[in-house]
Amino acid sequence: MDFRQEFIRFTIQQNVLRFGEFKTKAGRLTPYFFDAGLFYDGAALKQLAGFYAKAILAAGPGFDMLFGPAYKGIPLVAAVAIALADAGRNVRYSFNRKEAKDHGEGGSVIGAPLSGAVLIVDDVISAGTSVRESVNLIRGSRAVPCGVAIALDRMERGTGTLSAAQEVRASYNIPVISIATLDDLMGYLKADPQRSRELAAVGRYREQYGVSAHA
C-alpha cells in the first residue's frame, strides 16, 4: 500500500474522513466529509505531517521555505517543517497573524523572513481565499510562491468548470500538491468489498460534481 492509500486509511481510522450524508458550504449533499481540524492530538499531527513530507518530497518542487496561513496552517507548517527535517530536508518556515502588530516584533509574518521560493502549507483549498492572501503576502515580500501543499484534493467543481485546486493552478501558475485525491479515495474503497455502498455513493457524487484530473 503506497502512502496515499495509507493516508486514506489513517483518516478513516481517525474519523477525520467520514461517510454518510453531509451538506457542503456550497449546499451540495456529499456522501463523504473530510475535517482536518480533527487531527488534534500529538500522535495524529505527527503522522499527518509525515504524510505531508512524503507528498512534498515525492512531488519534488524546488522550494526554499514553508509558509502556513493563519489559522489552520500554523500548526501544520511547524509540524511539516519538523517532518521534513526528520526526512533529511531542513527548511525555514513562517506563518502570518490575521492582524498586523505595530509593537514588539511587528508586522504580520512570524518566523523566518519570506524569501526565495515559498511553499504554502494548508489543510484544503475550498474558495481559495487563503491561497490568494498567502500569494499576495509572499509576493509583497518579494519572495516567490512556488506551490501549495494540501491534505486532500476533492477534485470537485467550484463555481465554474474547474476544481478549487485547478483554479489555483490556472490563476497563479503554481502546482497544488495533495497527499491524496478523490481518485485515491475511490481506489481505496474499490479495494475493500465491504465498502461497495460508499464507493457507489462517492462515484455518483463524482459523476455529478467531479472534474478530470487533467482539466
For 76, 133, 187, 188, 196, the CA distances from 97, given in Å and listed in that order, are 14, 12, 38, 37, 44
Q: Could you identify the residue written with the cell 482539466?
A: 215
Residues annotated as part of the active site: 101, 103
Mutual orientation of helices 164-172 and 129-140 as an angle, nearest 10°? Answer: 20
All cell numbers assigned to 3:
502512502
Sign of CA dihedral 145, 167, 8, 24: positive
All cell numbers assigned to 124:
484544503
Q: What is the 3-state secondary structure (H, E, C) of 91-152?
A: CEEEEEEEEEECCCCCEEEEECCCCCEEEEECCCCCCCHHHHHHHHHHHHCCCEEEEEEEEE
- Burial of 139: CB neighbours in 10 Å, binned 0-12, 13-18, 19+: middle
